[in-house]
């Protein structure tokens, strides 16, 4: 007789196949039970309700997504790592539309999934490396939110239209637009404070200092103000 964990795993696999073949609407109690060889009471004992099952399927999708991310090769330039992460995100969505919709698209109500936080932490880590390299033009949280929102929107937009209707290179163009908005394209000899303030703030997040809590709070506020200041040089105009 299969163990509880084995039965739970089989149910998730069946639900995942139904999701891949027919989308969220295909994952019904009857279809899952028929495919798994169980009765509805067993399904509810394992997952509580159908939302619990969808949450488990989403968590399984996030685990596969994170496994793919862990295999990405690290580049010398962290901006190239961000490009690779974007391409993987969009590619995963196009290859797994059903999973993507419940993972990122709000197709079902769900409580926070730990693996989802891990995915965002990886993105913030990539942005952090760009900041530490002195290449980030905006604060790390803002850059991470901009990147996540744009990649999410791009993928959902592509999923919402037939493949033949997709504009060639849409994802790449959006990716480069986001990078242009968060990465400082400033020559090393230009005294532009924003990327330098962002870099210092990023380094201080992981380095011990001799500052008191009050001094650190003041420094964080000053660095944040400098990091969000857009100079004529960064904006693409001639410096005075």
> Is 127 in contact with 141 (CB distance < 8 Å)?
no
Residue 237 in this model has a pLDDT that exceeds 50: no
CA–CA distance from 81 to each of 125, 126, 138, 224, 238 (Å)?
A: 11, 7, 18, 25, 30
Give domain limits for the chain: 1-48, 49-227
pTM listed for this prediction = 0.74
Structure tokens at 133: 């390299």
Find the mean pLDDT for residues 209-235.
67
**32 against 200, higher pLDDT:** 32
Class of 49-227 in CATH: mainly alpha
How does pLDDT run across 188-209, given as a tens digit for each residue? Answer: 444 566 666 666 676 666 666 6
CA–CA distance from 79 to each of 72, 74, 182, 190 (Å)?
A: 14, 10, 10, 20
DSSP letter assigned to residue 206: T
Q: Fold identical between 1-48 and 49-227?
A: no
**35 against 193, higher pLDDT:** 35
Task: Output the CA torsion sign for 224, 227, 230, 232.
Answer: positive
What confidence category does residue 3 fall into, taking pLDDT thresholds of 50, 70 and 90?
very high
How far is Cα 104 from Cα 152, in angstroms, rounded to an integer?
7
Q: What is the DSSP string of 140-175?
A: HHHHHHHHHHHHHHHHHHHHTS-GGGSPTTHHHHHH
How does pLDDT run across 77-115, given as a tens digit for each residue? Answer: 999 999 999 999 999 999 999 899 888 876 554 456 778
How confident is the model at residue 111, as a pLDDT? 56
How confident is the model at residue 214, as a pLDDT? 78
How confident is the model at residue 238, as a pLDDT? 38
Q: What fold, for 1-48? A: Arc Repressor Mutant, subunit A (1.10.10)
Find the mean pLDDT for residues 21-44.
94
How does pLDDT run across 132-180, given as a tens digit for each residue? Answer: 888 888 888 999 999 999 999 999 999 988 877 778 789 999 999 999 9
Burial of 135 (0-12, 13-18, 19+ CB in 10 A): buried
Structure tokens at 11: 């149910």
């Amino acid at each position: 007789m299969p163990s509880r964990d084995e039965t739970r795993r089989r149910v998730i696999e069946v639900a995942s196949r139904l999701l891949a073949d027919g989308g969220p609407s295909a994952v019904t109690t009857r279809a899952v039970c028929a495919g798994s060889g169980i009765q509805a009471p067993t399904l509810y004992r394992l997952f509580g309700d159908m939302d619990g099952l969808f949450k488990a399927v989403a968590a399984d999708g996030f685990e596969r997504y994170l496994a793919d991310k862990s295999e990405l090769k690290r580049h010398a330039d962290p901006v190239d790592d961000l490009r690779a992460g974007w391409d993987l995100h969009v590619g995963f969505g196009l290859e797994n539309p059903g999973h993507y919709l419940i993972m990122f698209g709000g197709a079902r109500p769900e409580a926070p999934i730990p693996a989802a936080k891990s995915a965002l932490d990886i993105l913030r880590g990539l942005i952090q490396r760009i900041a530490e390299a002195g290449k980030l033009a905006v604060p790390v949280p803002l850059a991470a939110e901009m990147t996540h929102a744009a990649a999410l929107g791009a993928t959902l937009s592509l999923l919402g239209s037939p493949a033949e209707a997709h504009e060639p290179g849409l994802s790449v163009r959006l990716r480069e637009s986001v990078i242009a908005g968060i990465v400082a394209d400033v020559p090393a000899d230009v005294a532009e404070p924003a990327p330098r303030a962002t870099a210092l703030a990023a380094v201080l997040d992981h380095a011990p200092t001799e500052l008191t809590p009050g001094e650190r709070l003041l420094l964080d506020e000053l660095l944040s103000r400098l990091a969000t200041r857009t100079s004529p040089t960064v904006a693409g105009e001639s410096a005075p």
